[in-house]
């Protein structure tokens, strides 16, 4: 079959996905029999385009490069109309993350399911706020809701737990799930103050102008909620996850950790004990002998503790245009393998 793809949100990740789809079209067909057309793209900034025979992705990327709105095959449709009218087989939901209401992404997903379309997303909103509801609405229509990119971008985490580790019970997941805070802590170890390290992270584009989402631990809290619900079958709300960020870590604290042959890391953790699942985000002194202590800079990592395989640690990118674009490709291929 030829997958008919719609992309909602043509920002960093949408463009990364488009670049991958352009460069790998032949490889994907030859190796996996994966054939596709991107029939629609909708973005608040660039406009909505639709062509049932497939859009020219190079043209769309060229528009964005030259900072001009889409100019060919333009439709006077918003994202909802595109979902309803496009007869897509899969919607890639790549709009901004809203951890308060989950909108507009939750409505995008619901509308896609009502229309019998799969959803693939790196948007933490629907996954952190409404994972069970999304899964069940998708199941009612016999379609999928895949979310690999919501935790550690394209580094296999959720699909690893669901796929290769199937049959194992995961009793604990602990990880460095936010690259910005890990970068700041790494810079503090080499002598910068917290303020200097944050400024550097902002200059490098790791941290937003308002860094609260990262440094207060809210981004990691969303990811921990997703891990609890998607990997450990919990029904946690974001507010159930205790959360403390790194804003109170001082140069003195860094020194004290060094004396104890440890290192501060912002750890997101989910644990099942006696049938109860608890989750938290907080800075911890991790002994240098632990695999998570060696994760420096903006890199992410997670350790799953399993009954049959012991501890398994995955290290990799937690963000990035191509890395997160790849998370969408990996879920598209998952859908392809199952149809
Ligand atoms: N970038 C990463 O490395 C990364 C990693 C993991 C997960 N994610 C997640 O992946 C998603 C996409 O990230 P991103 O970095 O690509 O964000 P981005 O660069 O901000 O792009 C999002 C795009 O969606 C557009 N948009 C917002 N509301 C829309 C709507 N209702 N209909 C159509 N388009 C809409 C935005 O337009 P305006 O700019 O005009 O609002 C923007 O162009 C986010 O949820 C993010 O949290 C990103």
pLDDT, tens digit, for every residue of 35-88? 999 999 999 999 999 999 999 999 999 999 999 999 999 999 999 999 999 999
Residue 181: partners with Cβ closer than 8 Å, 6 or more residues away: 214, 215, 217, 220, 245, 246, 266
Query: Cβ(328)–Cβ(122) under 8 Å?
Result: yes
d(CA 323, CA 316): 9
pLDDT score at 300? 98
Does CATH place domain 164-316 in 3.40.50.2300? Answer: no
pLDDT, mean of residues 112-125: 98
Beta carbon of 153 within 6 Å of any ligand 1 atom: yes
Is residue 92 classed as helix, strand or coil in its secondary structure?
Answer: strand
Query: Cβ(85)–Cβ(64) under 8 Å?
Result: no
Beta carbon of 178 within 6 Å of any ligand 1 atom: no
Beta carbon of 105 within 6 Å of any ligand 1 atom: no
Expressed in percent and rounded to 5, the helix, strand and coil fractions of the chain are 45, 25, 35
Sole residue written with tokens 């992270």:
201
DSSP lists the bridge partners of residue 281 as: 243, 268
CA nearest to 223, candidates 293, 101, 318: 318
Cβ atoms within 10 A of the Cβ of 210, count? 8
Closest-lying ligand 1 atom to the alpha carbon of residue 43: 34
User: Ligand 1 center to residue 95 CA distance, Å?
Assistant: 4
d(CA 180, CA 194): 12
pLDDT score at 91? 99
Cα atoms in the 13 Å half-sphere on the side-chain side of 142 = 3
User: Ligand 1 center to residue 101 CA distance, Å?
Assistant: 16
pTM reported for the whole predicted model: 0.97
Beta carbon of 328 within 6 Å of any ligand 1 atom: no
Buried b (16+ CB within 10 A) or exposed e, 143-167: bbbbbbbbbbbbbbbbbbbeeebee
Test site for ligand 1: of 17, 44, 81, most ligand atoms within 8 A of the Cβ? 44
Average pLDDT across the chain, whole number: 97
Confidence category of residue 163, pLDDT binned at 50, 70, 90: very high
Model confidence over 295-316: pLDDT tens digits? Answer: 999 999 999 999 999 999 999 9
Confidence category of residue 21, pLDDT binned at 50, 70, 90: very high
pLDDT at 28 over 90: yes
Q: Which CATH class is domain 2-155+321-338?
A: alpha beta
Residue 318: partners with Cβ closer than 8 Å, 6 or more residues away: 152, 153, 155, 177, 178, 179, 298, 299, 300
pLDDT score at 52? 97
pLDDT, mean of residues 163-173: 97
Beta carbon of 121 within 6 Å of any ligand 1 atom: no
| Host H or E run for residue 7 | strand 2-8
Query: Which residue CA neighbors atom 5 of ligand 1 most closely?
Result: 319
Sole residue written with tokens 């308060």:
100
Confidence category of residue 339, pLDDT binned at 50, 70, 90: confident
Domain residue spans in the chain? 2-155+321-338, 164-316
d(CA 195, CA 184): 9
pLDDT, mean of residues 21-29: 98
Q: Report residue 242 as tokens.
A: 């205790």
**DSSP letter assigned to residue 321:** H
Rg (CA), the chain: 20
pLDDT, mean of residues 232-252: 97
CA nearest to 173, candidates 93, 233, 213: 233
pLDDT at 288 over 90: yes
pLDDT score at 26? 98
Confidence category of residue 272, pLDDT binned at 50, 70, 90: very high
pLDDT, mean of residues 204-231: 96
pLDDT score at 63? 97
């Amino acid at each position: 079959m030829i997958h008919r793809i719609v992309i909602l949100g043509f920002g960093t990740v949408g463009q990364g996905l488009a670049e991958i789809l352009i460069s790998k079209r032949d490889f994907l067909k030859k190796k996996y029999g994966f054939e596709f057309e991107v029939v629609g793209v909708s973005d608040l900034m660039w406009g909505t385009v639709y062509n049932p025979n497939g859009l020219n992705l190079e043209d769309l990327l060229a528009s964005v490069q030259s900072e001009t709105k889409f100019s060919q095959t333009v439709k006077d449709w918003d994202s909802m109309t595109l979902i309803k009218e496009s007869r897509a087989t899969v919607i890639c939901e790549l709009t901004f993350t809203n951890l308060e209401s989950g909108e507009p992404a939750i409505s995008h997903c619901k509308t896609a399911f009502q229309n019998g379309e799969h959803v693939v997303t790196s948007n933490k909103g629907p996954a952190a706020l409404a994972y069970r509801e999304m899964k069940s609405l998708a199941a009612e229509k016999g379609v999928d809701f895949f979310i690999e990119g919501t935790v550690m971008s394209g580094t296999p985490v959720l699909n690893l737990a669901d796929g290769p580790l199937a049959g194992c019970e995961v009793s604990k997941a602990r990880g460095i799930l936010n690259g910005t805070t890990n970068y700041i802590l790494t810079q503090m170890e080499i002598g910068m103050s917290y303020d200097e390290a944050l400024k550097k992270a902002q200059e490098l584009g790791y941290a937003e102008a308002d860094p609260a989402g990262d440094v207060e631990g809210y981004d990691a809290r969303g990811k921990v909620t997703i891990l609890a619900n998607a990997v450990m079958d919990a029904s946690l709300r974001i507010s159930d996850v205790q959360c403390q960020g790194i804003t109170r870590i001082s140069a003195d604290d860094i020194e004290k950790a060094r004396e104890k042959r440890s290192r501060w890391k912002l750890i997101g953790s989910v644990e099942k004990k006696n049938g109860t699942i608890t989750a938290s985000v907080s800075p911890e002194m991790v002994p240098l002998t632990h695999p998570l202590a060696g994760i420096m800079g903006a890199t992410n990592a997670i350790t799953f503790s399993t009954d049959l395989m012991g501890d398994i640690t995955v290290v990799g990118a937690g963000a990035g245009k191509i890395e997160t674009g790849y998370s969408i490709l990996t879920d598209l291929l998952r859908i392809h393998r199952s149809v």
